[in-house]
Structure 1
């Protein structure tokens, strides 16, 4: 892969050719996540099957349903969580700005050569000082953007949706075959 860059100032890192090259997560890990976690998304008619919705008979029934549905619909549940994350980012522009600011700051600092400090006027800033400055700026920025309440909202909303779906949806016919095959 070629790294095309725009003209830059001395001691400044070059811009990446694509956004995926600038992420702290490697493209191989992203592809593995897509294939392993999102590769077995169940169809919507199976996920929203009204014929299989019923009230559980007791705690044993709930435990059996949770055990089956949480593994069977794992990819669909990940999509729900990602959807809630995107919803929060869209509805909270301060949080979106804070996360974009932090990502670009980390990208900028990470692309700097570690042995060359950044010269800004008469100030000389090392990578360690830049990371410290980014943390000092990021904490109040995330506080103002209400990151804590957003995290609790996402956990509560996704937990309610996912556990509610898993508890009220009866296991499929194939779950009976899987349990008898394990006993043989």
Structure 2
């Protein structure tokens, strides 16, 4: 067995190191993710309160709908976020091309972000700056997003989540605690 070493190339810039975990590779900091979990997803209402069949009823008019929206959209905000995230995950599972496109874009953005800003990337005889790499990624990403129908997926998620959330908020009567809050404001 011979002891061989890997040759070094003096004109090649140092390549970015691979992140230790997936959360470090995201452009969102782990502190923001934990704050989102604690603030937004920390107060998810129980399933039996969210789907209480005794509280579902037809609203009496626009005033009743406005009162129900006012209460339910704030009271069940975390549950509605989970619904939107569920629809997003469903769309990504059903549209594999979109999932691969988003993965490609995230990998490209992470790769370019890890490069030193003052050193260009040398690829064969070509020298590419960070600006050129970002431009190239955008030029490649636009047709990929069009082919994977990202626009229609976004509109489907917005329409489906708006229908589900606003329908639930309009049909579910406010809880007993909403009556106490309105009388406390009047006193």
Which TM bucket (shorter chain)?
A: over 0.9
1:119 aligned counterpart, secondary structure:
strand
Cα distance in 1 for residues equivalent to 2:19 and 2:34: 19
Q: 1:183, CA displacement in angstroms?
A: 1.1
Q: 2:132 aligns with which of 129, 140, 149?
A: 129
**Alignment match, 2:3:** none
Q: 1:150 aligns with which of 153, 160, 168?
A: 153
Which runs of 4 or more aligned residues in structure 1 lie more than 4 Å from their structure 2 counterparts after TM superposition?
none
The answer to whether 1:27 aligns with 2:21 is no
Q: 1:128, CA displacement in angstroms?
A: 0.5
Per-residue CA deviation, residues 27-78 of structure 1 (Å, 9 max, x unaligned), is: 1111111111111100000000000000000000000000100000000000
- The residue correspondences of 1:1-184 to structure 2 (distance < 5 A) are 10-11=12-13, 12-184=15-187
Cα distance in 1 for residues equivalent to 2:97 and 2:90: 13
Q: Where does structure 2 lack aligned partners over 5 or more consecutive residues?
A: 1-7
Let me know the Cα RMSD of the aligned residues: 1.2
Q: 1:182, CA displacement in angstroms?
A: 1.1
Cα distance in 2 for residues equivalent to 1:84 and 1:133: 31
Cα distance in 2 for residues equivalent to 1:183 and 1:18: 52
1:116 aligned counterpart, secondary structure:
coil
Per-residue CA deviation, residues 133-153 of structure 1 (Å, 9 max, x unaligned), is: 000000000000001100110
Please tell me whether Structure 1 or Structure 2 has the larger radius of gyration of its CA atoms. Answer: 2
